[in-house]
Chain A
Amino acid sequence: MRALSIAATGMLAQQTNVEVIANNLANMNTTGFKEQRAEFEDLLYQNVEQQGTQSSDTGTIVPSGIQLGAGVRTADVYRVTGQGDLQTTSNPYDVAINGSGYFRIQMPDGTDAYTRAGNFALSPEGQLVTQQGYVVQPGIAIPTTATAVTINAQGQVQATIPGQTAAQTVGQLELTRFPNDAGLLAQGNNLFTETASSGSPQSGVPGSTGYGTIQQGFLETSNVNAVSEITSLITAQRAYEMNSKVITAADEMLSETAKLGS
């Protein structure tokens, strides 16, 4: 009986849906996290009676035919790359991106990764690093004698050094853009890597055309909307229940069949 396996595909799809929602809710307070959404598509159809075929030799045709579906599949789980709210932290090394772009991070194996989580810190050598200790590219070293650090909207990093009247420019933050943000591969730890689908990275100065600006002392919160997640959770749970009802009904029909002739 096909209804059993069709309902099973429905239950599996809703299970994926709930898993994605659970991950969104779990990351509600993760800096720079982007909400994900599961999207579904119908499966192949079996043509029992082809529409448009002739139903008589006078040329009448079958208007609708019989196409039996095989259920549903998860088509993709995509990231909604909308901007999260900016939350003030007053930590000088917390930087948020207002607009599009990613910070480029050098991984321990020398490859590049990208992030929007700007909760940076200093290494013992005074280098600007992520919470995992990976160096932010291009490398920026803050002099150990610096008393204050200012990062302006264009990403210029200036350090105030005792005995000097003018602040000294010690580095320039860069942002990287992709033709298709949603195609980046999530690596965990708020990091993403380039894929064939994201397209090749382009670097630029914050504030130039198409790039976001930098806000020092702010963090970008996750863009998960709790209300819409909970509503989706309820819908997914009900859809799961209804698919399980189909299994019960199909099972009852089969058990009636088994009783025949007993």
Chain B
Amino acid sequence: MDNTQLVNLSQQLAAYRSMDVIANNLANLSTPAFKREAMKFEEFVQQVQPSEGQTGPQTVSFVKDTGVVRDLSEGRLESTGAPFDLAINGNGYFVVQTAAGDRYTRNGHLALNGDGQLITDSGDPIMGDGGAITITSDDGDVHIATDGTVSGNQGQIGKLRLVDFADDHALKKEGDSLYSANQDPTPAATSTKIMQGSLESSNVEPVIEISHMIDVMRAYQATATLAQSDAELKRQAIDKLGSTPN
């Protein structure tokens, strides 16, 4: 078995995937409430036949990607001044009612639809404690308090539902800034605040991503060099061993 090349290949594939993850982080530099991700790798050890002159068990370590971990730290709060831009300060998610069921998001860039319902960018209503929140033009300027209470000229309109999960990492990304959950949400802690007129920016740090990118690129180049010297070694071996003695 050609272990050098196979170990090399496992590292090359890992580098390709890391690069994809870094590219996705940088592409989402301006996506509100985007959480950066990083690949997690582990060693995959295989027993091999000892080569000549060696004793004891011999092992070869491959690299294997086992997961993508999300960095759940909070992004900076960026002031936008738009009345329906909401940032969550602390742990918690908004509840969005989609055709496929309840979804969760931290991207609080909301708008109104023609019926006055508060909706997300994809047009799905955001849930209050008693269903969707409908704002009429008689409500005038809408104020959203830090606990999620939505009120206008005519008093309270509703209260935004904020939920949290026992294990945030298990949430599945669905695109469009939405997450789906296979666990039951619990009400968010009262220390979680909603800030009206701000958006949570993406927590991608360009410096970190660019330096990871350079790391990955260099690691990839190293495997390419290794593959070439391995090929060279084999060519020489074939040349030497295959030459007929004079």
Contacts and interface: CB of A to CB of B under 8 A. Distances in A.
Given A69-B173, A82-B81, A3 B68 contact: no
B115 A199 contact: yes
A52 B24 CA distance: 23
Contacts of A22: none
Contacts, number: 220
A146 to B, nearest CB: 35
Q: Which range holds the interface residue count of chain A?
A: 35 or more
Contact of B137 (A14, A43, A179, A245): A179
B124 interface: no
A179 B136 contact: yes
A19 interface: no
Given A41-B107, A65-B67, A256-B220, A3 B20 contact: yes
A37 B82 CA distance: 10
A39 interface: yes
A229 to B, nearest CB: 13
Interface stretch (A72-80, A116-124, A137-145): A72-80
A1 B16 contact: yes
Interface stretch (B46-54, B89-97, B224-232): B224-232
A80 B82 contact: yes
B67 A42 contact: no
A183 B24 contact: no
Interface stretch (B55-63, B156-164, B188-196, B210-218): B210-218
A66 B136 CA distance: 43
Interface string B13-28: 0011101111110111
B221 A256 contact: yes
Contact of B68 (A64, A82, A183): A64
B19 A249 contact: yes
Interface in A1-53: 1-4, 6-7, 9-10, 13-14, 17, 37, 39-45, 47, 49, 51-52
Nearest to A55: B66
A52 B180 CA distance: 12
Contact of B20 (A2, A63, A65, A178): A2
A177 B139 CA distance: 12
A49 B135 contact: no
B67 A243 contact: no
A197 B114 CA distance: 4
Given A49-B67, A52-B182, A210-B137, A42 B112 contact: no
Contacts of A78: 82, 111
A195 interface: yes
Q: Select the residue from B26, B112, B116, B177 with max chain A CB neighbours within 10 A.
A: B26
Dominant SS at the A interface?
mixed
B13 to A, nearest CB: 11
B19 A253 contact: yes
A7 B175 contact: no
Contacts of A253: 15-16, 19, 217, 220-221
A180 B169 contact: no
B45 to A, nearest CB: 17
A233 to B, nearest CB: 12
Contacts of A205: none
A252 B70 CA distance: 27
Given A45-B175, A183-B114, A253-B220, A3 B22 contact: yes
Nearest to A66: B68
A158 to B, nearest CB: 29
B43 interface: no
Contacts of B116: 179-180, 199
Given A6-B20, A80-B81, A260-B224, A180 B112 contact: yes
Contacts of B15: 253
Nearest to A49: B67
A262 B138 CA distance: 73
Given A10-B26, A13-B30, A249-B217, A42 B68 contact: no
A180 B111 contact: yes
Interface stretch (A90-98, A103-111, A166-174, A234-242): A234-242
Q: Which 7 residue pairs spanning A and B have beta carbons closest together?
A: A10-B27, A69-B24, A180-B112, A6-B23, A3-B23, A64-B67, A75-B121
18 contacts: A1-B20, A40-B28, A41-B107, A41-B122, A68-B68, A82-B82, A179-B116, A182-B112, A199-B112, A210-B137, A236-B30, A242-B26, A246-B22, A250-B19, A253-B220, A256-B220, A259-B224, A261-B231
Interface of B: 12, 15-17, 19-24, 26-32, 34, 37, 39-40, 65-70, 80-82, 107, 109, 111-116, 121-122, 135-138, 140, 153, 169-170, 172-177, 182, 206, 209-210, 213-214, 216-217, 220-221, 224, 227-228, 231
